[in-house]
Amino acid sequence: MKKNSKEEVLYLIQNRKFKKLIPFLVSDFKEIFSKQEMKLLIMDEESNFFKTIVTFFGKHLDESYDEDVFIEDLSFLSICNSLENNRIQSLCLSVMTDISINNYFPLIEEGFLLKFSLDELIEILESFDINRFEAFLQSVSEAIKHLMEFHEWEKGDTFLLLVQLGKNLSESLKAHMIEAIIGSKPQPIYLDDKLLRKNWDLPLVLEILGWFNDLNSEQLQNIITHLKANYRNKTMNSFVRMQFRLSIKHLKNQLEEWYQFPFENLSLTKAQIRRFLYRLAGEEGCQYSGLKWRCGGTEYTYAKNVLNLMNIPLMEQEILFELCKKYEGNCDCEILMNAASCLLNEETPW
């Protein structure tokens, strides 16, 4: 086979010979295929081109990373982003559902998830078994770890989408998440067979994304117990151990709120009141800090919708609204601006 020929590269791609692909990807890969040829290969799912390159990034990005080569010269990502939504969705799904691929963080890091609506993503995740959902969580964790290296990463569209995704997890997905966390442990990282350290990004990243905010007391306790049993590993550096201590402290505070009933006539815990307020401020409600702030008026349209989604009984809703009126929360947005700080007995961000 002639060196650097298209046939050789296609052979390596089709047979997923990742190590042998490295010389082509870091040197003259773009000279072997024109942009049009690459586009045709990307769109041809049977060629395995898209899936192989994404998998290559996931396996070998750290050991041979060069931003110019991988993003500008190769032009792979820009070509993918130029495809029609249906096509790129199909390609992404081919990777996300492939049981042989355990980490596809480049799809997430480069914003391909933005090609899906929030409802579509939830539906996809609902179709996953625990192993595929765990692979998704690991991919999210790796993507966020890379994004955190950039300035103002927390304002990026991908981060905000993942935050919103965490707010909309169903009960079954929350159960899968707990199972994945409890099944995970610090993983060793080696260099030349020498143990460097242990990494355990998954729980820290999911907390940063706020995916633990809407858990019940039993779920919180299970996570706390698992973290406490595993985070003290001496091969982790002191900064990472400190992060885990802070995370556990925060989770304990959340857990305590499940046992606090701030108002005598209201059976909602402080944790439930907090989740109500944050969801009211979010996409389901007033869209606080969004481009289109909105209010449902004195009928509490959005507040009622959020409480119904939280399965709060109507009698409890009426008691809560009377409390809101007492603290000058006479409509949806006034609940946030006036009543929230009194309901929680603390400063609030609204």
Q: How many CB atoms lie within 10 A of CB 23?
A: 13
Contact criterion met (CB below 8 Å) for 46 and 84: no
Q: What is the mean pLDDT of residues 52-65?
A: 64
Q: Please list, in sequence order, all residues whose beta carbon lies within 8 angstroms of the beta carbon of residue 258, skipping any fewer than 6 positions away.
A: 216, 217, 220, 269, 270, 271
Residue 63 has pLDDT above 70, yes or no: no
Q: Are 147 and 109 in contact (CB under 8 A)?
A: yes
Residue 6 — pLDDT band, cuts 50, 70, 90? Answer: confident
Instruction: Determine which helix (DSSP H) or strand (DSSP E) holds 97, and give its type and residue range.
Output: none
Q: Give the whole-number percent of the chain exceeding pLDDT 70.
A: 86
Least confident interval from 1-15, 92-106, 210-224, 241-255:
1-15
Burial degree of 164 (CB within 10 A; 0-12, 13-18, 19+): middle
> What is the percent of the chain where pLDDT is above 90?
57
Residue 80 main-chain phi, psi, to 5 deg: -60, -45
d(CA 96, CA 174): 19
Residue 301 binned pLDDT confidence (cut-offs 50, 70, 90): very high
Q: What is the pLDDT of residue 65?
A: 46
Q: Answer with the residue of higher pLDDT: 4 or 325.
A: 325
Which tens digits make up the pLDDT trace of 171-185?
899 999 999 999 998
User: Is 249 within 8 Å of 266 (Cβ atoms)?
Assistant: no
What letter represents residue 287's amino acid?
Answer: Q
Strands (E), the chain: 187-191, 194-199
pLDDT exceeds 60 at position 316: yes
Tell me what the pLDDT averaged over the chain comes to. Answer: 86
Q: What is the pLDDT of residue 54?
A: 81
Who's near 6: CB < 8 A, 6+ residues apart?
32, 33
For tokens 């492939």, name the residue: 98
pLDDT tens-place string over residues 80-117: 888 888 999 999 999 999 998 888 998 898 899 999 99
Task: State yes or no: pLDDT of 1 exceeds 50.
Answer: no
- The reported pLDDT for the residue numbered 14 is 72
At 75 the pLDDT is 67
Q: How deeply is 46 buried, as exposed, middle or buried, from its count of CB atoms within 10 A (0-12, 13-18, 19+)?
A: exposed
280 contacts 336 by C-beta, under 8 angstroms = yes
Looking at the chain, how many residues does it have?
350
Given this model, what pLDDT does residue 39 score?
85
The confidence score (pLDDT) of residue 55 equals 79
In terms of DSSP H, where are the helices of 194-339?
Answer: 201-208, 217-230, 238-257, 270-281, 301-309, 314-326, 332-334
Confidence of residue 51 (pLDDT cuts 50, 70, 90): confident
Name the residue with higher pLDDT: 282 or 29.
282
Q: Which residue carries 């927390």 as its tokens?
A: 154
Range 32-38 average pLDDT: 78
Least confident piece of the model among 17-31, 119-133, 233-247, 331-345? 17-31
Does the pLDDT of residue 67 top 70, yes or no?
Answer: no
Average confidence (pLDDT) over 307-328:
96
pLDDT of residue 33: 75
Q: Using H for helix, E for strand and C for coil, what is the string for 262-290?
A: CCCCCCCCHHHHHHHHHHHHCCCCCCCCC
pLDDT in tens, 121-159: 999 999 999 999 999 999 999 999 989 988 889 989 999
